A and B are shown apart, each in its own frame.
Chain A
Amino acid sequence: MVAISVDGLTRTFGDVTAVDDLSFTVDDGEIFGLLGPNGAGKSTLINVLVTLLRPTAGTATVDGHDVESETAAVRDSLGIVFQEPALDEELTGAENLAFHARLYGMDRRERTERIDEILDLVGLADERDDPVGTYSGGMKRRLEIGRGLLHEPAVLFLDEPTVGLDARTRRDTWEYIQRMNREAGVTIVLTTHYIEEAEHLCDRVAVVDDGEIAAIDTPAALTASLGGDVVTLAVEGSTGALTDRLDEQSWVTEYTRTDEGVTVTVERGEARIADLVRLADDAGVTITSVDLRRPNLETVFLSLTGATIEERETGDAERPVATEAER
């Protein structure tokens, strides 16, 4: 069964195309990750799927309901935890849940039952009558995740579920998400710009960059597709003599020339560094630095988009600073 189906989905804001002609499906019971830097269009995609934004073009269904023509059915079948907390801090945890339950049309009996269940599930039964303003960041997150599940949705969306949480709380939150997925059988779609989060949590990951999906597969298949470790050699002068020699080596899976030198994909990179240095020496090429990266989703992102997630984000951050300076 398909939980989410997206076909040719596009959303623009004026001249900016935030989501560009996306197509993919998410199966029932999956934990599906959208991995990419801030500003890649992940949140816009989620907001279209949860009916807060209308698609500019294309279609999408959640639990079989069209997000544009069957808004009410879509809203009934999804839960969402937004990137920014969306709790009433003056109400207690139980009151926030009761508010939610009423908006989703749950009668009194169902409401009290489910609220007790959820508070137990997210471990907030003892704090149920405390104002949410007194909760820690991790407790608020848990309450929101619980609230997202209160009306038993088919799909739970989590927009950057662990941003702003410390390392420990992040791990706890991962555990909760996995438990919810297992115990409530709910399909989970999450966005993240944390590599470890995507690797640790997700059954499948879509690598999102600049409003497009660069690749989509299991974390293991994505890293395996790289064919080994990535050794980045920065060299002085021309790389021609070095790449000629690389062509002759059977153990080189793949190489690409970059501005600074060459990126070589090999198996067991740590054992091949010496060989690479010797080759460069023989070719009369001076190496200025060597960098070895194990294949993980970070290197997948790098090889797909030509930059790391961090570079993409700081790049975005630097632009406005530059315009400040120009003024």
Chain B
Amino acid sequence: MNLVDPLGVYALWRRDVTRFLRAPSRIIGSIAMPLLFLVFLAFGFSGAAIPGLPEGVDYLQFLVPGMIGFTMLFGASFAGLSILSDQEVGFLKEILVAPISRTSIVLGRIAGGSTTALVQAILILLLSIPLGFRPVSLLSLPLALVFLLLIAVTFVGFGVALASQFSDSEGFNLVVQFVIFPLFFLSGAIYPISSLPGPVQFLALLNPLTYGVDGLRAVLVGTSTYPLVVDLGALLFSSVVMVAAGTYLFERVEAV
């Protein structure tokens, strides 16, 4: 068994994409929550004096990169955790008994999950334009794509690692409420981190999404808390760590 089997990775990617495209309701469902957040927060807080907001930046401009990050966080984590639903319907065994390495399986899941999460995030970005969002420059969009990809890889890997720790999908809701939502609130997606109390701010600094949102803000809005290089470096680092952790933990999952 080769460590990486390209055809196997492609098979897994293609399955995820086929399933995603086949269920329009799932696409709508996946972007409904971030879109509602975006619309209501943007209108509700428009013109409000939000502490720490950069000079001359409208709240909508500030919020859109945050909500794109939110979409990526949920889309990618759920994609990683979908190993659990495969296990529940028995399909995981079909994958595990095939002559491909566990690394290939994790890479396939990351490829598929990143693609679907990316589509969701781009939809949110497009839908934010009629709401009044204006990217600072079109040239920055490719760089935004790099950030989105790194966020995706980080959190699919994270989802795979989490899924490896559960034997069924019962822990799923706990994970969403006690892990994924806190990651969202601690990322500076809807308010600047500087408004958080000191110790909590420290937690936010450990959150990869913080750098993802900050990086997106830098390239899409032209304002950021940290230098672009720091954001990019932190995300690259978290991607490598999460993929390694996901692969390592998934290798140890007993198949039956």
B19 near A104: Cβ-Cβ < 8 Å: no
Contact A88 B91 (CB under 8 A): yes
| Contact pick for A91, options B5, B15, B100, B254, CB 8 Å | B15
Contact with B along A52-80 (1 / 0, CB 8 A): 11000000000000000001100110001
**A75 surroundings in chain B (CB, below 8 A):** 97-99
Residue numbers in B under 8 Å from A216 (CB-CB)? none
B1 surroundings in chain A (CB, below 8 A): 71-72
Q: How far is the CA of A99 from the CA of B92 in the complex (A)?
A: 13
Q: On chain B, which size bracket covers the interface?
A: 20 to 34
A80's nearest neighbour on chain B, judged by CB, is B97
A234-279 interface with B by 8 A CB criterion: none
Residue of A nearest to B255 (CB): A52
Closest to A103 in B: B98
Question: Which of A86, A91, A98 has a CB less than 8 Å from the CB of B93?
Answer: A86
B90→A89 contact, CB < 8 A: no
Chain A hits for B94, CB < 8 A: 82, 86-87, 100
**Docked-complex contact B91 and A102, CB < 8 angstroms:** no
> Does A72 lie within 8 Å of B90, measured CB to CB?
no
User: A80 to B10, alpha carbons, bound, how many Å?
Assistant: 22
A9 at the interface (CB under 8 A from B): no
Q: Does B176 contact A (CB under 8 A)?
A: no
A98 vs B8: C-alpha distance when bound (angstroms): 11
The yes or no answer to A84 lying at the interface (CB within 8 A) is yes
Q: Mark B74-106, 1 if CB is under 8 A from A, else 0.
A: 000000000000000111111111111000000
User: How close is B180's CB to chain A, nearest CB, in angstroms?
Assistant: 24
B100 touches A95 (CB 8 A): no
Indicate whether A51 reaches chain B with its CB closer than 8 angstroms.
yes
Check B93 against A103 for contact (C-beta < 8 Å): no
Residue of B nearest to A50 (CB): B97
Bound CA span A100–B94, Å: 8
B22 to chain A, nearest CB (A): 6
Residue B49 at the A interface, CB < 8 A? no
Whole-angstrom distance between the alpha carbons of A95 and B91 in the complex?
14
Decide yes or no whether A105 CB sits under 8 A from chain B: yes
- A112 and B28 CA atoms in complex are apart in Å by 33
In the complex, what's the smallest C-beta–C-beta distance from A42 to chain B, in angstroms? 13
Instruction: Please give the number of chain A residues whose Cβ is less than 8 angstroms from any Cβ of chain B in the complex.
Output: 27
Could you tell me if B8 and A103 are in contact, using CB atoms closer than 8 angstroms? yes
Known A72-B99, A91-B18, A100-B98: A86·B256 in contact at CB below 8 Å:
no
CA distance A82 to B93 in the complex (A): 8
Given that A82-B90, A89-B89 are contacting pairs, would A102 and B99 also be in contact in the complex, using a CB cutoff of 8 Å?
Answer: no
By a CB distance below 8 angstroms, the chain A residues around B89 are 85-86, 88-89
A105 touches B23 (CB 8 A): no
**Chain B CB within 8 A of A90 CB:** yes
CB within 8 Å for A99 and B97 given contacts A52-B255, A82-B90: no
* Cross-interface CB contact of B90 among A47, A71, A84, cutoff 8 Å: A84
CB pair B100–A103 under 8 Å, yes or no, is yes
- B-contacting residues, A23-60, CB 8 Å: 47, 50-53
Contact residues, B8-45 vs A (CB, 8 A): 8, 10-11, 14-15, 18-19, 22-23
Instruction: Contacts A102-B7, A102-B8 given; indicate if A88 touches B19 (C-beta within 8 A).
Output: yes
Which single residue of chain A is at the shortest CB-CB distance from B99? Answer: A75
Chain A neighbourhood of B23, CB < 8 A = 90
Digitize A213-233: 1 where CB-to-B-CB distance is under 8 Å, 0 elsewhere.
000000000000000000000
The answer, among A52, A84, A91, A100, for a CB contact under 8 Å with B96, is: A52
Q: How far is the CB of A78 from chain B (nearest CB, A)?
A: 8
Give complex CA distance A86, B99 in Å: 16
Could you say which residues of chain B place their CB within 8 Å of the CB of A86? 89-94
How far does the Cβ of B186 sit from chain A's closest Cβ, in whole Å?
34
Residues of the B chain whose Cβ atoms lie less than 8 Å from the Cβ of A53: 254-256
Contacts of A103 in B (CB 8 A): 7-8, 11, 95, 98-100
Q: Kindly state the separation between the CA atoms of A75 and B102 in the bound complex, as whole angstroms.
A: 14
Task: Give 13 new A-B contacts, CB below 8 A, not counting A95-B18, A98-B11, A105-B99.
Answer: A52-B97, A75-B97, A75-B98, A80-B97, A82-B94, A86-B90, A87-B91, A88-B19, A91-B19, A99-B15, A102-B10, A104-B99, A105-B7
Q: Which 4 A-B pairs have the closest CB atoms?
A: A102-B11, A103-B98, A52-B255, A75-B99
A-B contact pairs, 21 of them (CB 8 A): A51-B97, A71-B1, A76-B99, A85-B90, A87-B94, A88-B89, A90-B18, A90-B19, A90-B22, A91-B18, A91-B19, A99-B11, A102-B7, A103-B7, A103-B8, A103-B95, A103-B98, A103-B99, A105-B7, A105-B8, A105-B99
